[in-house]
Structure 1
Amino acid sequence: MTVTRLDDVRLAALAEDLADLLTDTVDGGASVGFLAPLDRAEAVAWWRGRAAAVAAGQLAVWVAREEGRVTGTVGLALPDKPNSGHRAELVKLMVGRGARGRGLGRTLLTVAEEAAAAAGITLLHLDTETDSPAEHLYRSAGWTPVGTIPDYAANPAGALRPTTLYFKRIGAATAGG
């Protein structure tokens, strides 16, 4: 398995494979911002639309591949305000259903955290569906829950679900305590 950071050109070139991962993730019930059934053409267009943000330095995207097949992805949404250059949001951590249970989610999370620290980011944040399998990953990786918002987003079936907000201090922020 390899994990690679994508530039805008490579992201656009892999949009079809990433769309397959996204539709598989949504079909599997993960709440990543889309309703099921997710049209593949819509998923391809969504990924192609991310290329401009990658080119502008507002989004970093990594892809995991095994035997040439995309098995996972993670992103960091980078801030565009002068007072928030120290933080980033972890977004769209997805592992294909056939690749789950082998540590890929943890690997992708670690890659994003290490890249953020190397870029001088000292604070990461994310939101995830409350009581989802992702919560175990984030808690076991040292992320701190800070609160829950009821009826925050619809899951793939369309039911409103709560979300839990998390943060993690990384890099220089963890050195002194």
Structure 2
Amino acid sequence: MITRLSENYFDDALEDLTDIMHGCVHTGASIGFILPFSRDDARAYWRDQVRPGLHEGTLDLFVVYGEGRIQGTVQLIPAAMPNQQHRADVAKLLIHPKARRRGLGRALMSALEARALDLGKTLLVLDTRSTDPSRILYQSIGFKIAGEVPNFCRNPFEDRLEPTTYMFRDLS
């Protein structure tokens, strides 16, 4: 079951979200963090970065439940500038490492796209490490490559820089 998580249920979801992010970083996800990365680091991200956005209404947080827990999440962040009211960013598509290859990412992205359309957004934008498997998922659901930036992000395990691919999807 996919739901848009409200601030009222955030505290109940915090430990599951923490587990997901911690697990994703430790299995190589390039989502802005590098090792060492503790559960406290993951919890702080959700508490300090995401919860304020829920409170202020500047982002939508989608979660997918399975086996009594949250198994995955993604964020829709509408652009704030007046000349960008038609677009939104996709951020932090995360599936717990033990729940991958079940279509959860695809289902979360479908819910996100429906919400974007409800909000009048016709363009979605995201970036992903160029070698990350998520790039294949994004392309399979209609995202196109806008370009690649070399040496954009640090590898989470090694002290080396990697390219990032910027992608977009036209929903109109």
Q: TM-score range by the shorter chain?
A: over 0.9
Q: Which residue does the alignment assign to 2:15?
A: 16
Q: Which amino acid aligns with 1:84?
A: Q
Cα separation, 2, equivalents of 1:89 and 1:12: 24
Measure how far apart 1:71 and its partner are.
0.8
Q: Which residue does the alignment assign to 2:122?
A: 122
Q: Which amino acid aligns with 1:46?
A: Y
Cα separation, 1, equivalents of 2:41 and 2:87: 30
Measure how far apart 1:78 and its partner are.
1.5
Measure how far apart 1:159 and its partner are.
2.6
Q: Which residue does the alignment assign to 1:159?
A: 160
Q: Which residue does the alignment assign to 2:169?
A: 168
Unpaired stretches in structure 2, ≥5 consecutive residues: none
Q: Which residue does the alignment assign to 2:34?
A: 35
Cα separation, 2, equivalents of 1:10 and 1:85: 28
Measure how far apart 1:131 and its partner are.
2.1
Any idea what the Cα deviations from partners look like across 1:129-175, whole Å, max 9, x if unmatched? Answer: 002101110111110101000111112114311000000011xx2xx
Q: Which residue does the alignment assign to 1:96?
A: 96
Q: Which residue does the alignment assign to 1:150?
A: 150
Task: Check whether the contact 1:88–1:125 (CA below 8 A) recurs between aligned residues.
Answer: yes
Unpaired stretches in structure 1, ≥5 consecutive residues: none
Measure how far apart 1:52 and its partner are.
1.1
Cα separation, 1, equivalents of 2:78 and 2:10: 17
Cα separation, 2, equivalents of 1:159 and 1:74: 27
Task: Check whether the contact 1:24–1:97 (CA below 8 A) recurs between aligned residues.
Answer: yes
Any idea what the Cα deviations from partners look like across 1:104-141, whole Å, max 9, x if unmatched? Answer: 11111111111101111000000000021011101111
Alignment of 1:1-80 (within 5 A): 2-49=1-48, 50-80=50-80
Give structure 1 regions of 4+ aligned residues with deviation exceeding 2 angstroms.
none
- Partner-residue secondary structure (3-state), 1:166: strand
| Residues 84 and 12 of structure 1: CA distance in aligned 2, closer, same or farther (over 3 Å) | farther
Measure how far apart 1:70 and its partner are.
1.6
Task: Check whether the contact 1:16–1:44 (CA below 8 A) recurs between aligned residues.
Answer: yes
Measure how far apart 1:93 and its partner are.
0.2
Cα separation, 1, equivalents of 2:20 and 2:155: 17
Cα separation, 2, equivalents of 1:13 and 1:78: 25
Q: Which residue does the alignment assign to 1:113?
A: 113
